[in-house]
Structure 1
């Protein structure tokens, strides 16, 4: 865990007699600038604005799909071509984090978040006014690239605020917005398109971004302890007339004074170096990518299943409400688990813990998911409520796997969490971008029942991995050069 040493008062009163090396590496657990010591209101407002931005970007990723039929009719294009608008947005999620994640560990978390949100918001304007299918697809891809800054950086920002116990609660809430936003979008989008047309999916997204910015201006602070130290060192250097002193260790770590080639080798390549050297990260990415892709497939599978029952297109999206309730229930489960069993174990060990203690909700979710998928697929001939209830448990299980996996990833790779999450987001997004394209024809061939069975089989095959991590995770982490506890 990142820790600061030395009395903060010493910095304030004797900065002129200290070297910049000492200034940048001496601080106190009582330092009010450290994110752990922010006031409760400051922390809660920060988490709220980051979570809201995650929600809006996730909403933007899937709301476009609601207008696929009207868009295809307007431009005389196939539905597959139109759905590229969803796929390219998610493909943008794959490219952006490889840049935004490691850069945020160098320049701080706030700049990539702010720049990414502004660009994503601006791109909604040409999207809404576009006159060609090519223009629409280009805008969607660029919006995905810029919006990915929120997904690649937001998790790390929230993780900086707390110690092990409350961190899981905060991460559970903010990370759940990824799935809540993309689950709410089809329901809202169906009614927006029916009443106002597909272009208003972009206008509504823009309005949501604009509504957040006044709050973000006041609530979105820099949360990187490294960057807080660098800013403090620069202020002291300016006041003490010590500008000629050597660059600080923290600034060197952040890449100042390095050539472009050295900077790339050290920082921009870090996510890739992490991925191919870390078996935990590889397996987590495979598992979380599958459940993420399953959720995106549900945006097609659920409406089609209920349209087979004779429901109208807008009405067929209403079962997403049950799935959304499931995605909201999962953070409650992880919170209760964290504040009861996990906290007792944490205190029993004298205030220490291991990342594997987080995994029990993930194991529960991995056990529920294949059952819920089979339940959904093979209840077509029963009362509609039975299938809606299955959708609720799909939402719960997907989020239990997803949230616990992200929290476990952050615990293992805490000091380079943004790089770890970024490479995970990149691979997850590449898969999700193509998932709905190749599974659509497969669904038409297999039907709801057999497609759900295929997904359930894959989910069952992935079930052993969190159990293996629970038993052997410590040994696997001992091989790592990036494991936080080892370092």
Structure 2
């Protein structure tokens, strides 16, 4: 559910052509290096040496930003009936407001990610979120449905800075995956909090006669503007910028620090590299492509699940609309448990690395997922066959909670696996992973309408459960045959 130049903290600060393809370039290795490669973690001014309280405070603010942006994907859903009342249009057309917002979050990082890697994180955060707040004025004052949909797309692109930068900021502050494991889990947790709380918040706003549809967007203007102001006072975290400023201030003579000061980066060249390499990986690396499809299905399940919530809990179980929406909070509980569980996966990974002579295997990122991936089909079928109101509504609530634990856990495992496998082109590989993910998730916003309009809740969810059995096999294939598959790649780490 991310798309950025450092979607997970890579094992190094690498970015450029992979070693296996360096010989293809006539210009030599120097042109493949960027300023990030010249940053030494040992440098005293590197942000990795900041006080832990300061680092966690910075990350907490940015993770709250991620939650705020993510909830916009579902607050709109709760107000879709008001959109139809005001502007007209079919359910599918109105749903474009949600799906194009998701597409926008995939498009934005194509330029926001490289910009933050080159010019610094801070002012990309401030500028893009400020623009996000301004664009939401357009959605609040939209004169017709096409105008509303277009502004939703633009808001998604501007708000995607939470996807482009937050994980990169974690890489700045915590370094490699061992140090950044728990902060990344916080990021994944915050990304899942947003959609979970967005629907009940949207319902409360939509049902309030004093607020109504425009306030779905006016609240974004207020909170987005507040975030933009607050982030003006948060320090820069990009190591290259910090070390450069420190060296100038202290008139350093250290060769490494001087190299950072003298580095000049071509912004357009950097963007072209990330984008072109992302499409190359997406088209030629089956590992990334299939994981992207898998993640698109897993992410799309959140929206498919939301489409079925009212049928299951309001129609079949007789709950009010707001009570039905509140059942979506089971994901909040589940992803919090996932956050607390991450040290267990980290322990398994470190043990595997120790047994492997100190070398980490990318496949070891799936050690706990080999078990929990089964939660996908089990929870979906459990939800499906207890959703007709014949048993307590707590049964599908708990089933959804199981899904809410397995989904983010596997998402984090996939991000880590790709970062480990494509260390030299981690940013482009993550982008290649997320392009199909977002497109499929956006499509699920419309597929869910068709499924729940034409099928019972039981069989709509059951079909998803049966399909997910085939996807479970993907994790097992990667775990047992991953090294052989990576050996066929020119880009993946052998």
Question: By the TM > 0.5 criterion, same fold?
Answer: yes
Deviations 1:287-308 (A, max 9, x none): 1111001111111112221122
Displacement of 1:28:
5.1
> Corresponding residue for 1:438?
447
Give the 5 Å matches for 1:88-487: 88-160=100-172, 161-195=174-208, 196-223=211-238, 225-228=239-242, 235=248, 251=263, 254-255=265-266, 265-308=272-315, 309-338=317-346, 340-346=347-353, 352-379=359-386, 380=388, 381-483=390-492
**What is the CA–CA distance in structure 1 between the aligned matches of 2:189 and 2:39, rounded to whole Å?**
34
Deviations 1:437-482 (A, max 9, x none): 1331122212111111111122110112122222232333344444
Cα RMSD, aligned residues only: 3.0
User: CA separation of 1:226/1:398 partners in 2, compared to 1, >3 Å: closer, same or farther?
Assistant: same
- Please tell me whether the aligned partners of residues 100 and 153 of structure 2 are also in contact (alpha carbons under 8 angstroms): yes
> Corresponding residue for 2:3?
none
**What is the CA–CA distance in structure 2 between the aligned matches of 1:114 and 1:25, rounded to whole Å?**
26
- Please tell me whether the aligned partners of residues 93 and 145 of structure 1 are also in contact (alpha carbons under 8 angstroms): yes
User: CA separation of 1:109/1:354 partners in 2, compared to 1, >3 Å: closer, same or farther?
Assistant: farther
**What is the CA–CA distance in structure 1 between the aligned matches of 2:476 and 2:243, rounded to whole Å?**
40
Displacement of 1:51:
0.9
Deviations 1:108-166 (A, max 9, x none): 44443333222112211221222322221121110011112221332232133233323
**SS of the residue 1:123 aligns to:** helix
User: CA separation of 1:24/1:277 partners in 2, compared to 1, >3 Å: closer, same or farther?
Assistant: closer
Gaps of 5+ in 1: 5-20
Displacement of 1:372:
0.3
> Corresponding residue for 2:6?
none
**What is the CA–CA distance in structure 2 between the aligned matches of 1:28 and 1:316, rounded to whole Å?**
52
**SS of the residue 2:175 aligns to:** coil
**What is the CA–CA distance in structure 2 between the aligned matches of 1:3 and 1:436, rounded to whole Å?**
36
- Please tell me whether the aligned partners of residues 122 and 232 of structure 2 are also in contact (alpha carbons under 8 angstroms): no
- TM-score of the superposed pair, with normalisation by structure 1: 0.84
- TM-score of the superposed pair, with normalisation by structure 2: 0.83
Report whether the alignment pairs 1:63 with 2:75. yes
**What is the CA–CA distance in structure 1 between the aligned matches of 2:75 and 2:112, rounded to whole Å?**
24
**SS of the residue 1:269 aligns to:** helix
Q: How many residues align?
A: 456
User: CA separation of 1:384/1:227 partners in 2, compared to 1, >3 Å: closer, same or farther?
Assistant: same
**What is the CA–CA distance in structure 2 between the aligned matches of 1:387 and 1:294, rounded to whole Å?**
15
**What is the CA–CA distance in structure 2 between the aligned matches of 1:28 and 1:152, rounded to whole Å?**
23
